[in-house]
Structure 1
Amino acid sequence: MKFIHAADLHLDSPFLGLRHLPASLLAQVRQSTFDAATVIFDRAIDEHVDFVLLAGDLFDRAEQSVAAQAYLFQQFTRLQDAQIPVLISFGNHDYLADQHQTVAYPDNVTVFGAEVSTQTLTLASGETVAVSGFSYPQRWVATDQTPGFPEHAATDWHIGLLHGAVSTGGAADHYAPFTVAELLAKRYDYWALGHIHQRQLLNEQPPILYAGNPQGRAITEAGDRGAYLVTSEAGQLVPHFFKTAVIGWAAPNLTVTTTPTLTDLGQQVVAWLAANPAGLPTLTALTVHLPQPLSGADAAQLASGDWLALWQRTQQRAMRAANRYVIAVKVVAAPATVAAPQLDAQYWEAGAASTFTAANLQDLFGKLAQESVLADWFTRPQTASDLETAAQQKLAELMGEEAHDHEA
């Protein structure tokens, strides 16, 4: 048996804030969620999968455009022609109350209703598969839905289809909260999850898995995006990730050992582009680390956006050659040194080591990690370093103000 697990297509994403992109690239970006979804449906047909699972948020918003509806109808018809069933659980972005479908989906498509129900498939191999799921009746589902999922049916395989978030036990649990222990108690062979845009494996066997979104839609959604081809191997279901994104997002770092003028900085960025070409068109937000701050005039030019706008217009060729479009340049100066007696360096290092731990950061971040965009940002390797640097800079500022107050 094999099937595809995908989620969070977010067709019709508006991609706000990118109007400054060249017209041809902007058109590619706005089409990207559709093109990434097409990669999924093409793979389903090429692999002759037994069925496709879509775990919510097919559309970015409840008011679906005619183009988005027509696109899905066409793709589902392709799958019907290939005799591939599609099972859909609508999520918090495309909930049932605001569905305005004017054309019915083809007969191979099953849309789960507001209550948990189970569909049973008999495959060409003779194997039987039960799939249990539900769709959001409105934008928020604050109650745990897992009690409504039946235990493993008398079928060869049983799969759960769930658009939701791991429970934090708080009032902010608006997205069908669940615990991993609850899912494991159902004894299913696979849980196909949606809602969190960063792919995450919550349990290895049986797999409890967020597929992530097929196409990144902001700089916080950098990294590989895709879906899973799941195959039966030695009595278990094994997920295999495949990439689908047609537009990349990246937030790399560039370290400069001397503090440049803006002219020098522009040349450094061009050199970095030449040394770091991308495999697919990539929107890039570059962070430049300097040993000390830019001059006041240069810093003001950078902050206003005027410098970047001029640089973008004059470096189109360099960006095309690198397959990257620089959408932001952020400069980070090394934190000011705070000398004794205001702060003992050893005391700071010891305090920082005990404060900036993964457990402390996770505890402070808490429920915010349930928001998909923030979760993606928090899981980036650079985030912990950025937080520590910001804390150092703020502490240096505060110590400087304290010293000034004492002098006054």
Structure 2
Amino acid sequence: MKFIHAADLHLDSPFLGLTSLPPAFLTQVQRSTFAAATKIFDRALAEHVDFVLLAGDLFDRAEQSVAAQAYLFDQFNRLNAAQIPVLISFGNHDYATDQHQTLAYPDNVTVFGSQVTTHTLTLASGETVAVSGFSYPQRWVADDVLADYPDHAATDWHVGMLHGAVRSGGPADHYAPFTVAELQAKHYDYWALGHIHHHQLLASDPPIVYAGNPQGRSVKETGARGAYLVTSHGTKLVPEFFPTAAIMWEPVTLDSSATTLVELGQKLVAWLQAHPASQPTLTVLHVTLGQALSASDTAQLTDWVALFQRTQHKVLQTAQREFVRVTVQQAAEPLTAPKLDQTYWKRGGQQVFTVANQQDLLGKLLQEPSLAAWAQDLSPADLKQAATERLNQRLREGGDHES
């Protein structure tokens, strides 16, 4: 037996904050979730798998675009022509809505409803496979759904599909919470998990596996992204990860001795030439300077970053990199007590720049998936650093800003 386990395709991800990219590259980024998903379906056809499991969050939001729906319809038709069944469960991003009910997928597609059910497949080999799962009826599922999953059926294989998170015991347990022990108690042969975007094996006997997402959507989703090809070996199911990402993300930190923007530009060109990426890569660059730039260069820093990306487009293209964010941290100039009470700032920073305060500040904006995806790139440390640099700049500009 052989099948593919994938999850979290997040088709139609907006990729906010990337408008400074060259138009052709931006288009490539915006299509990357589709390109990555296509690699999954291509692999299914090439391997002649017995079926495909898609464990939630196929779409990035509950209201899917026509383009995303049509894309999946076409892919499912490709699999249907090869007689490959597809089993779908919807997750917290694309939870079951009336829109799902009105779209008639090809005959090879089984969509799990809001209650746990079991679908049984009979393979060409004669083997029987029971697959149990459910779709989210709304964005949050805090109930103990594991109680509704049956024990191992009287079939050759039993696979569980679950879009959820390991139980933490806290208020955030609203994504079909579970424990590994609960999954193991069902005595299934494989658990196909979705929701967590980093592919990982929670247990090996039986395999309890997060497929991760096929395409990273922010700098917090670095490294290989893909899906699993699962093959039977005797009485065991063995998962093998395969990469699918069309675009990579990479954070880079550089220490530089540059003292001017001209010199900094030269050093960045040299770095790009020495560190080409193996595939198109969105690079978040943080440069730490050994000493402060002049006041004139500091004032031009934001415009200089934009100018560098335009004038060095060919260098960036050859290196298969685009800078989506460049921050330059200058050596701190000592500030005297009348300008800034460092002890007060440190104490105040610890109280102000917290996760709770950040969430309170953003408020209901975080309930919108696209804005939540953008906000996940921000941390209290990022906000504190930005505030510190801004305050230091104002203090250096003149006494009228001093306190």
Task: Normalising by structure 1, report the TM-score.
Answer: 0.80
Q: Is the 8 A contact 2:50 2:84 kept in 1?
A: yes
d(CA) in 2 for partners of 1:278 and 1:268? 17
d(CA) in 1 for partners of 2:331 and 2:206? 46
Aligned partner of 2:57 in structure 1 is 57
Pairwise mapping of residues 186-225 of structure 1 onto structure 2 (< 5 A)? 186-225=186-225
How has the CA–CA distance of structure 1 residues 315 and 214 changed in structure 2, closer, same or farther, with 3 Å as cutoff? Answer: same
Aligned partner of 2:146 in structure 1 is 146
**Pair 1:13-2:13 in alignment:** yes
How has the CA–CA distance of structure 1 residues 23 and 235 changed in structure 2, closer, same or farther, with 3 Å as cutoff? Answer: same
Instruction: For 1:67, give the aligned amino acid.
Output: A
Aligned partner of 1:405 in structure 2 is none
Instruction: For 2:19, give the aligned amino acid.
Output: R
d(CA) in 2 for partners of 1:109 and 1:37? 16
Aligned partner of 2:80 in structure 1 is 80
d(CA) in 1 for partners of 2:293 and 2:180? 49
Aligned partner of 2:175 in structure 1 is 175
d(CA) in 2 for partners of 1:373 and 1:183? 29
Aligned partner of 2:365 in structure 1 is none
Q: Is the 8 A contact 2:29 2:247 kept in 1?
A: yes
How has the CA–CA distance of structure 1 residues 335 and 237 changed in structure 2, closer, same or farther, with 3 Å as cutoff? Answer: farther
Q: What secondary structure, in the 3-state scheme, does the structure 2 residue paired with 1:252 have?
A: strand
Task: Give, in angstroms, the shift of residue 259 of structure 1.
Answer: 4.2
How has the CA–CA distance of structure 1 residues 121 and 318 changed in structure 2, closer, same or farther, with 3 Å as cutoff? Answer: same
d(CA) in 2 for partners of 1:100 and 1:83? 23
| Aligned length, in residue pairs | 351
Aligned partner of 1:288 in structure 2 is 287
Task: Give, in angstroms, the shift of residue 219 of structure 1.
Answer: 1.6
Aligned partner of 1:346 in structure 2 is none
Please give the per-residue CA displacement for 1:51-88, whole angstroms capped at 9, x wherever unaligned: 00000000011111111111111100110110100000
Task: Give, in angstroms, the shift of residue 297 of structure 1.
Answer: 4.1
Unaligned runs of 5+ in 2: 335-368, 393-403
Task: Give, in angstroms, the shift of residue 171 of structure 1.
Answer: 1.6
d(CA) in 2 for partners of 1:184 and 1:102? 36
Instruction: For 1:308, give the aligned amino acid.
Output: V
**Pair 1:321-2:331 in alignment:** no
Instruction: For 2:270, give the aligned amino acid.
Output: A
**Pair 1:308-2:305 in alignment:** yes
d(CA) in 2 for partners of 1:93 and 1:107? 25
Aligned partner of 1:272 in structure 2 is 271
Please give the per-residue CA displacement for 1:266-310, whole angstroms capped at 9, x wherever unaligned: 1111111111111221111112233344444434433xx312111
How has the CA–CA distance of structure 1 residues 238 and 332 changed in structure 2, closer, same or farther, with 3 Å as cutoff? Answer: farther
Pairwise mapping of residues 350-389 of structure 1 onto structure 2 (< 5 A)? none
Task: Give, in angstroms, the shift of residue 240 of structure 1.
Answer: 0.7
Instruction: For 1:323, give the aligned amino acid.
Output: Q
Q: Is the 8 A contact 1:291 1:334 kept in 2?
A: yes
**Pair 1:48-2:48 in alignment:** yes
Instruction: For 1:328, give the aligned amino acid.
Output: R
Q: What secondary structure, in the 3-state scheme, does the structure 1 residue paired with 2:114 have?
A: coil
Range that drifts further, 92-101 or 264-273: 92-101
Instruction: For 1:90, give the aligned amino acid.
Output: F
Q: Is the 8 A contact 1:197 1:373 kept in 2?
A: no
Task: Give, in angstroms, the shift of residue 159 of structure 1.
Answer: 0.8
How has the CA–CA distance of structure 1 residues 332 and 181 changed in structure 2, closer, same or farther, with 3 Å as cutoff? Answer: farther
Q: Is the 8 A contact 1:69 1:101 kept in 2?
A: no
d(CA) in 1 for partners of 2:294 and 2:21? 29
Aligned partner of 1:112 in structure 2 is 112
Task: Give, in angstroms, the shift of residue 102 of structure 1.
Answer: 4.1
d(CA) in 2 for partners of 1:8 and 1:71? 15
Instruction: For 2:107, give the aligned amino acid.
Output: D
Aligned partner of 1:96 in structure 2 is 96
How has the CA–CA distance of structure 1 residues 31 and 373 changed in structure 2, closer, same or farther, with 3 Å as cutoff? Answer: closer
Q: What secondary structure, in the 3-state scheme, does the structure 2 residue paired with 1:40 have?
A: helix
Pairwise mapping of residues 321-360 of structure 1 onto structure 2 (< 5 A)? 321-332=318-329
Q: Is the 8 A contact 2:259 2:292 kept in 1?
A: no
d(CA) in 2 for partners of 1:149 and 1:213? 25
Task: Give, in angstroms, the shift of residue 204 of structure 1.
Answer: 2.0
d(CA) in 2 for partners of 1:334 and 1:310? 23
Aligned partner of 2:66 in structure 1 is 66
Aligned partner of 1:4 in structure 2 is 4
Task: Normalising by structure 2, report the TM-score.
Answer: 0.81
Please give the per-residue CA displacement for 1:103-133, whole angstroms capped at 9, x wherever unaligned: 3001110000101111111111111111110
Aligned partner of 2:261 in structure 1 is 262
Aligned partner of 2:251 in structure 1 is 251
Q: Is the 8 A contact 2:259 2:291 kept in 1?
A: no
How has the CA–CA distance of structure 1 residues 318 and 181 changed in structure 2, closer, same or farther, with 3 Å as cutoff? Answer: same
Task: Give, in angstroms, the shift of residue 330 of structure 1.
Answer: 2.0
Q: Is the 8 A contact 1:62 1:93 kept in 2?
A: yes
How has the CA–CA distance of structure 1 residues 252 and 184 changed in structure 2, closer, same or farther, with 3 Å as cutoff? Answer: same
Task: Give, in angstroms, the shift of residue 156 of structure 1.
Answer: 1.3
Instruction: For 2:106, give the aligned amino acid.
Output: P
